[in-house]
C-alpha cells in the first residue's frame, strides 16, 4: 500500500491567496483526520471525517478554513484567504475506523508558508 | 478533556547511551496511550501503544514504555540508542470512548557520535 498521500509537499503563497491541500487516505480506511503542526501549538486536530461525513470540526480555527471529503479516496483542506499565521505543516491521517482502537496512519505532510 | 505533558523539549545523548523520554498525562477517565516518532520531513509513525494488560509495552526499534497509572506517566525508554534514533518523539493520549488523539509538544532526541 502506498500509505496516505498528500499534495503538494510544499506550498509557498502570498497573503490573501487561496490554498488547497489534498489528501488521499489508505484504501479501505473510513476515517480521515486533518492536523496542523506549529512550533507554538504543537500538533492539533482540525477536523475528523467518518465515512466521508464531517463528524467534528471544532478544531478548525476560523471560517477561512474549510474541508471536504467528496468520496472515500479524496479530501481537501482549503484556506481562503490565507494569512501568514497559517504557516504550518498540515498532516492528513487515516484509520480503519473509530472503534475500540484504530491506529491512525499519517501522511508526510504539506509544509505551507504564507508570505 | 485529556492533556499530555512532555517534560523535556530536547534530549541530547551520546550513541549507545540509554535514554528516557518523559510523558505525563491527565484524564478523568480511562485512556489509551501512544508514542509516535517523526523523522525529519516525514509524517508521524506509531512506535508503540498501551491499550490494556501488561503495563510494560514493547515497540519497534527497541523502544519500550511503561504505563504507571498512579503517577499518570508513560515514559519511553531505550537501553542503547543509535544515531538513527535522532528524531522528534510525541506522546499522545485518547480516552477509550473517544477517537481524538491529544498530543504532547514533542521531545527532540538528538543522538551524538
For cell 498521500, the residue is: A5
The rounded distance, in Å, linking the Cα atoms of A77 and A37 is: 14
CB contact under 8 A, B100 and A48: yes
Averaged pLDDT, A53-78: 94
Instruction: Give me the residue from B41, B100, B106 closest to A42, CB to CB.
Output: B106
DSSP string, A8-75: -SEEEE-TT--EEEEEEPPTT--EEEEEEEETTTEEEEEEEEETTEEEE-TT--STTEEEEEEETTEE
Span A3-57, pLDDT tens digits? 999 999 999 999 999 999 999 999 999 999 999 999 888 899 999 999 999 999 9
3-class state of residue B52 by DSSP:
coil
For cell 471544532, the residue is: A58
The rounded distance, in Å, linking the Cα atoms of A105 and A26 is: 8
Chain A interface, best mutation among B1, B3, B44, by max A CB count within 10 A:
B44
- Cell reading at A108: 508526510
Span B90-103, pLDDT tens digits? 999 988 777 788 99
Chain B interface, best mutation among A7, A9, A10, A37, by max B CB count within 10 A:
A37
Amino acid at each position: 500500500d502506498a500509505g496516505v498521500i498528500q499534495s503538494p509537499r510544499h506550498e509557498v503563497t502570498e497573503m490573501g491567496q487561496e490554498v488547497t491541500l489534498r489528501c488521499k487516505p489508505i484504501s479501505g480506511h473510513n476515517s480521515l483526520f486533518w492536523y496542523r503542526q506549529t512550533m507554538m501549538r504543537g500538533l492539533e486536530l482540525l477536523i475528523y471525517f467518518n465515512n466521508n461525513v464531517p463528524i467534528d470540526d471544532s478544531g478548525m480555527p476560523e471560517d477561512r478554513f474549510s474541508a471536504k471529503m467528496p468520496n472515500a479516496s479524496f479530501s481537501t483542506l482549503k484556506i481562503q484567504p490565507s494569512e501568514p499565521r497559517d504557516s504550518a505543516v498540515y498532516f492528513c491521517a487515516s484509520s480503519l475506523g473509530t472503534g475500540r482502537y484504530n491506529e491512525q496512519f499519517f501522511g508526510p505532510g504539506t509544509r505551507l508558508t504564507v508570505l | 478533556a485529556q492533556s499530555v505533558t512532555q517534560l523535556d523539549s530536547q534530549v541530547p545523548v551520546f550513541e549507545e547511551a540509554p535514554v528516557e523520554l518523559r510523558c505525563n498525562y491527565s484524564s478523568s477517565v480511562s485512556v489509551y496511550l501512544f508514542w509516535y516518532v517523526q523523522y525529519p520531513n516525514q509524517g508521524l509513525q506509531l512506535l508503540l501503544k498501551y491499550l490494556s494488560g501488561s503495563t510494560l509495552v514493547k515497540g519497534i526499534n527497541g523502544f519500550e514504555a511503561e504505563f504507571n497509572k498512579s503517577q499518570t506517566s508513560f515514559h519511553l525508554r531505550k537501553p542503547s540508542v543509535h544515531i538513527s534514533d535522532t528524531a522528534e518523539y510525541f506522546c499522545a493520549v485518547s480516552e477509550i470512548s473517544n477517537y481524538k488523539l491529544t498530543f504532547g509538544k514533542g521531545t527532540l532526541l538528538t543522538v551524538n557520535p
